[in-house]
Structure 1
Amino acid sequence: MFDGFERVRIDTGGATINAVHGGTGPPVLLLHGFPQTSAMWHRVAPALAQRHTVVAADLRGYGDSSRPPAGDDHAGYSFRAMAADQVAVMRSLGHERFAVVGHDRGARVTHRMALDAPDAVTRLAVLDILPTLHVYTHVDRRLATAYYHWFLFIQPYDLPERLIAGDPVGYLHRLLGTWGGVLDTFAPGAVAEYERVFADPDARHAMMEDYRAGASVDLEHDRADVGRRVQAPLLAMWGTRGVVGTGPDNPVAVWREHAADVRGVALDAGHFLVEERPEESLAALERFLEDG
């Protein structure tokens, strides 16, 4: 799905990260979310690579990246640890400063990276999320119903792992076919890749640890940074049929509480907007990446 790209595995000290890279021009890092891998970018990465050096990486625990121990406090899967991995990946490839585009969990890693490594991140796009601390402090019945998995996955090991193990591929299909979209949206090759990884119990456990970290150590980091705002230009992009787009919050207004320079783009899509609306997503990202 990434013809012309080179595949690499990079040791970051805390994990070994699987990535593909290709193209020429200003560097941009693409980060996927749950329950996917870097394959989610296959419809936009080749076009972006015509004018950018594109790196699409698997987060630690996901895809073909390694699955290090989480630790008793789950910090091994914190957004801080994941962000540090990706900064190390980009530096290993010769990119000290770069743009970042993240979707879902990858967008939360992107937000943390812009706070922890502001000298590295030139601009960032966060796709179909609101900040993690905002989500946890604004839970109502609608959000808890839509984001039920946030509260299932944070239960102690190994309750969610055992429940999902009953029919992992069936559950994966249910995840991909909800949040405003349908399973038929996804390319068969991408679905096969997601199925391959989700069938691995160690991968599923790592994903649960990601969510356990999100409800614990990540919130500690976010609370410590209350009042800090991302200074790099930030694009908030969301699907009008997803949880973010159908909620009571104005995504741009929320992000302006966390970043100094915020633009917003809404697409007629559900949560998985890059795969549902690749042309529109690509156009919005190119405008943002090439603005200034």
Structure 2
Amino acid sequence: MLDVTTSGTTIRLRTGGSGPALLLLHGYPQTHVLWHRIAPRLAERFTVVAADLRGYGDSGKPETDAQHMPYSKRAMANDMAEVMTALGHEQFFLGAHDRGARVSHRLALDHPGRVRKLATLDIAPTREMYRDTTDAFARAYWHWFYLITPAPFPERMIGADPDAYWLKKCGSGAAGLNPFSPEALAEYLRCFRNPATIHASCEDYRAGAAVDIVHDDEDGGRKLDMPLLALWGENGVIGKCFDPLALWRERASDVRGHPLPGGHYLAEEVPDLVASEFEAFFT
């Protein structure tokens, strides 16, 4: 375990292996432990860096502001750019799930010369998903709209029983809680019981529905130019409610991808398939 201080907070991470650098970022409401079934295999070919996003896990949880700027994907991406600089990796591959993939999208936009290739798990671009939201998506991803309500409403509701919320939120798919090993689940719950984590994760979503879209609009149609691999769960929501490749092609010039036989938590449901996809794409 290693703590790296950035200009905005402190980031907790693990790193190991040898070869080209590969940064792995987790989603909500998890930590870098998400990658525990994949990282050892990838470390045979890459120098793997698995980090907790700011606000999550054991990383720092800065105070927010009225615009939610400290939890903008730009701020969270800057953390990771500074982390990789501190570790001596000027260029790196980037693989990410869920909220971490949204951070990665902004990281690749703001630091294009540093990200060699980007692989995303079970997302499409944030702005375009909000734009194309349907009733079916809103019902399935209710937390997108619940977590952005003004503080401290969701924080107090979730904080009354964080374990029950986490288990309901993450165990509602077809696979239930089966994707999560007992050790990983215990770590996720330990971190999520922290009221500061609950608040920071709400701020992540509030930023996603506000300042992050402002930043997207300010890009003026600029697209990612590095290769992008989009993978999603064929039993999940993303591919049923959206056309992920079409939406990514609005934001990137070189896009390929397909569904995998799983739900939302692909790195834990089908780790061998995800590892194989990453190895083929990043090699």
- Of residues 25-34 and 164-173 in structure 1, the stretch that sits farther from structure 2 once superposed is 164-173
Please state how far the C-alpha of 1:178 moved relative to its aligned partner: 2.3
Give the letter for the 1:22 counterpart: G
1:168 is the counterpart of 2:176: no
Shift of 1:118: 0.2
Could you give the per-residue CA deviations for residues 175-219 of structure 1, whole angstroms, max 9, x where no partner exists? 111244310221111000000011111110000010111111101
- Equivalent residue, structure 1, for 2:275: 282
Q: Which blocks of at least 5 consecutive residues in structure 2 are unaligned?
A: none
Give the residue type in structure 1 aligned to 2:233: G
Which deviations, in whole Å up to 9, do the C-alpha atoms of 1:3-58 show, x marking residues without a partner?
A: xxxx2100001010000000000000000000000000000001000010000000
Residue aligning to 2:117: 123
Aligned partner of 1:4 in structure 2 is: none
Q: What amino acid is the match of 2:263?
A: G
Query: Contact 1:27–1:95 at 8 Å: present in 2 too?
Result: yes
Q: Match of 2:147?
A: 153
Whole-Å separation in 1 of the counterparts to 2:40 and 2:132: 38
Matched, 1:273 2:270: no
* Other-structure match for 2:197: 203
Q: TM-score, normalised on structure 1?
A: 0.95
Q: Are 2:19 and 1:28 aligned?
A: no
Aligned length in residues: 283
User: For residues 149 and 226 of structure 1, what CA distance do their matches in structure 2 show?
Assistant: 29
1:82 to partner: Cα distance: 0.4
Q: Distance in 1 between matches of 2:121 and 2:250?
A: 17
1:130 and 1:244 in contact (8 A); partners too: yes
Task: Give the 3-state SS of the residue equivalent to 1:231 in structure 2.
Answer: coil
Q: Which residue is 1:68 aligned to? A: 62
Task: For 1:112, give the aligned amino acid.
Answer: R
The normalised TM-score by structure 2 is 0.98
CA contact (8 A) 1:77 1:209 kept: yes
Structure 1: which amino acid aligns with 2:112? P
Residue 147 of structure 1 aligns to which amino acid in structure 2? Y
Match of 2:249 in 1: 256
SS at match of 1:184: coil
Rounded to whole Å, the distance in 2 between the matches of 1:108 and 1:164 is 23
Q: Percent identity at matched positions?
A: 51
CA distance in 2, matches of 1:284, 1:266: 11
Query: Which AA in structure 2 matches 1:194?
Result: Y
Question: What secondary structure, in the 3-state scheme, does the structure 2 residue paired with 1:170 have?
Answer: helix
User: Which residue is equivalent to 1:3?
Assistant: none
Q: Secondary structure of 2:250's match?
A: coil
Counterpart Cα distance in 1 of 2:4 and 2:129: 33
Secondary structure at the aligned position of 1:99 is classed as strand
SS in 2 for 1:245: helix
Spell out structure 1 runs of 4+ moving beyond 2 A: 178-181
CA contact (8 A) 1:114 1:230 kept: yes
Q: Per-residue displacement from partner, 1:126-147 (whole Å, max 9, x unpaired)? A: 1100100001111111011111
Q: Quote how far apart the aligned CAs of 1:73 are.
A: 0.9
Tell me, in whole angstroms, the C-alpha distance in 2 between the residues paired with 1:264 and 1:184. 25
**1:226-246 superposed Cα distances (whole Å, 9 cap, x missing partner):** 411100000001000111122
| 1:178 alignment partner in structure 2 | 172
What is the 5 A alignment of 1:99-110?
99-110=93-104
Equivalents in 2 of 1:202, 1:227: separation in Å?
A: 35
Residue type matched to 2:57 in 1? G
Matches within 5 A, 1:173-252: 173-247=167-241, 249-252=242-245
Distance 1:78 1:250 in 2: 25
Query: Match of 2:240, SS?
Result: coil
- RMSD (Å), alpha carbons: 0.9
Structure 1 regions of 5+ residues with no counterpart?
1-6
**What is the distance in 2 between the residues matched to 1:180 and 1:75?**
35
Task: State whether structure 2 residue 81 is matched by structure 1 residue 87.
Answer: yes
**Counterpart in the other structure of 2:13:** 19
Structure 2 counterpart of 1:36, one-letter code: Q
